[in-house]
A and B are shown apart, each in its own frame.
Chain A
Amino acid sequence: MKRAEAERLLAEIGGEVEVRLRGHAGLLRRLLGNEPNQDHPAWKLAAAETLAEGLLERCAGLLHPEVSAPTRALLEEAVTEGPEALARLAADFDERLRAADAPGDRLQALRARRRCLELRAACLDHLANIFDARRSRP
């Protein structure tokens, strides 16, 4: 179990004392039974942990103060899940940004369409002038 997950589980425990007792006892069992990762040498795990801790610390500084808590949590979650999760999150936010910019694209298209119609109107004006000039000729 990772730290953020345990913190979330601890924060979620509430209600009547019996419910809390059961929740805390269950979490304690899980925490005590949490085995360290044996798939990698400890020094490699330490390297990855240090890198991630540094990223999480600097994350707060990188984000604008107005960014919401759920989004901060999403970003922190992605950091703890690795570079691929970060890339997925980036793609997700890019998609959201495209969706948010869609009205802007629509406005640009409407403006271009209006310019086309204005040009057609100007063409009509010119045609009227040309034909009027020819018609007035004796």
Chain B
Amino acid sequence: LTDQDDASLAAQIGAALVRAAEHRKALVKSRLEALQARQAAVVGALMPEPSKLDELRLSVEQLAAQAERQRAEIADHERQLAQLRDRQEDLSRQAEQADGALRERCASLIPGLPVLSRQGEAQWISWIEGRLVEAGLAFEPAADWREELDFRELDEKALALLAPLCGTIADLEVASSDLAVARASLPAAIQREQEALDRLTADLSLRASQAGSRYGRILEDLPQPPAEDSPERLEQIEGILTYVEATLGRFAVSALLEEQMLEALQS
């Protein structure tokens, strides 16, 4: 390389350095501008513009005024509500008093009503008349009907209509009566009886099958209890069986005697 070449290279390097410096400067400048723009945007976002601040201030004032008005309205409503509550309590008291008075009035009128319905009145009048006619008496006005009914024994006759019914009611409803106690024990007694009957039926069936045709038609001809629980039919069958059992019993005794006699003759 010559000195001339060195000078040219140095000039080139110098020029390149100058260009690099300029480029760097331009880059720094552009970055700074971008940063400033971003900063402005952030500040703009955080800090509203003065005109908007005024709007906000106005809006806040309006809201505060509205809230004040509403507070006043609420207070007014609460006053009205308290008044209405008082009024309601007053009306409730009045309604209770009126209801009590109505109830008392109703209760005071009830004793003046007849004991009998229209139908009851007609029927008892007819009944009294009928009993008096039977006794050859006329149905006429009386000064004291209690005495008159007692004198004519009509109250006793009417009571006679009730007495059997009262007895039936007692038989049905009085749990401590002998009848009720006996009735309460019936289900268990029925079950016991049914079980005994089932055992007896099975035993008889076994004995009949074991006997087979040994007794000819005698077993078949013995009357059977009927399928239905007719008391009359059961009583009839029981009567026949009682008679047959007694007859067979006599035959058995007779056969035994006969056997004993034959043994005596043979010995």
Contact = CB atoms under 8 A, between A and B. Distances in A.
B14 interface: no
Contact of A124 (B169, B175, B204): B204
B165 A86 contact: yes
A121 to B, nearest CB: 6
B186 interface: yes
Nearest to B183: A100
B200 interface: yes
Contact of B171 (A59, A97, A134): A97
A120 B168 contact: no
Interface stretch (B4-12, B18-26, B34-42, B111-119): B111-119
Nearest to B124: A48
Interface residues of A, number: 100
A3 B113 contact: yes
A104 B186 contact: yes
A47 to B, nearest CB: 5
B163 interface: yes
B55 interface: no
B124 A112 contact: no
A73 interface: no
Interface stretch (B43-51, B65-73, B139-147): B139-147
A3 B145 contact: no
Given A82-B127, A97-B171, A105-B229, A24 B241 contact: no
B252 A49 contact: no
Dominant secondary structure at the A interface: helix
Interface string B232-267: 001101100110110011011001101100100010
B248 A2 contact: no
A115 B173 CA distance: 33
Contacts of A119: 238, 241-242, 244-245
A80 B117 contact: yes
B103 A24 contact: yes
A53 to B, nearest CB: 6
A130 B258 CA distance: 10
B115 A80 contact: yes
A85 B124 CA distance: 11
Interface in A120-134: 120-131, 133-134
Nearest to B92: A17
Given A48-B128, A54-B149, A114 B155 contact: no
B178 to A, nearest CB: 13
Given A43-B141, A124-B207, A90 B128 contact: no
